[in-house]
Structure 1
Amino acid sequence: MKTPLRIASILMLLHTFGHIVGAFTWKKAPNPSIQKVVDDMQSNHFAFMGKQVSLGSFFDGFGFTMIGVLLLLTIILWQLPERKFILPIGLFLLFMGIIELIYFFPFAAAFSLLAGILTLYAFIQWKPSN
């Protein structure tokens, strides 16, 4: 069942591209009220685990980390060799989609949810000859 996994991989690649755009443009707010919040996130530093950080630096770090996670998922889904890995990856993608739906926005969640559904479909349809 390579086709659903390849489609899921492409969806995650598109999700990665969207995340790259978001990670590099989030500091350019659409209006002055949001820009004030963004500026405050970057300018207010505090000590955390021996380092001076800001919420903006955490936001950057999580965003860049997610680019890596999404790219890794893209590669794994494209090359997925064994059925035993498909179920946990499919469930993880559904989990990620639900988190994105709750905390972010439906467009981002749709990529993860659809990739999760396709991955679980591949798991159910898997035949030993694949």
Structure 2
Amino acid sequence: MTAKLLLRIAAILMLLHTLGHTIGAITWKDAPNPAVGQVINGMQSQHFDFMGRSVTLAGFFEGYGFIMIGVLPLVAIFLWLFGSQSANPLTKSLLPVLAVFLLVMGVIEYIYFFPFAAAFTFLAGLCSVIALVVIKRGKSTIQA
């Protein structure tokens, strides 16, 4: 497989992750059962002061979700661009950082969220690591 193909696969995985995350971020208040509904209600109704502002845990949760709707496609764009520029010194400098970021993010998602989301990110990280090996070897492809 070529580094370009591996990074394009990683980019598509992150776009799929973005799609799933966006659906989840938009619908998180739709409680699947009364117990979860109580938790959501508590997150929305209990205000506390934070840095001079009255906030809720629901606001933080929702805000972080919306931030990730921006971050995930940004990662996908970087992966796509790196696939087109694998010989570029900047790609060779930044791709290892992004690959480690994706692997760590996948582990964190597995621990704190759920395996399905983690799988997309972790696989994108693995594709990035394999692409790095291909790039460092100076070959255009890696044999399966």
Quick check: TM above 0.5? yes
Max Rg structure: 2
Structure 1, unmatched stretches of 5+, are: none
1:121 to 93, 118, 130: 130
TM-score of the two chains, using structure 2 as the length reference? 0.87
- Please state if 1:88 is matched with 2:97: yes
Runs of 4+ more than 6 Å apart:
none
Distance in 2 (CA, whole Å) between partners of 1:61 and 1:54 is 11
CA distance in 2, matches of 1:41, 1:33: 13
**Residue from 92, 96, 111 that aligns with 1:102:** 111
- Aligned alpha-carbon RMSD (Å): 1.4
| TM-score scaled by length of structure 1 | 0.96
Deviation, 1:107, is: 0.1
Aligned to 2:12: 10
Deviation at 1:6, TM superposition (A): 0.1
C-alpha deviations, 1:70-129, integer Å up to 9, x for none? 010010000013222111101000000000000000000000000000000000101387
Q: Distance in 2 between matches of 1:3 and 1:86?
A: 15
Contact 2:134 2:140 in 1 (8 A): no
- The alignment covers a number of residue pairs equal to 130
Q: CA deviation at 1:17?
A: 0.4
What amino acid sits opposite 1:125 in the alignment? Answer: V
Taking the aligned partners of 1:19 and 1:55, their CA distance within structure 2 comes to: 19
SS of equivalent residue, structure 1 residue 114: helix
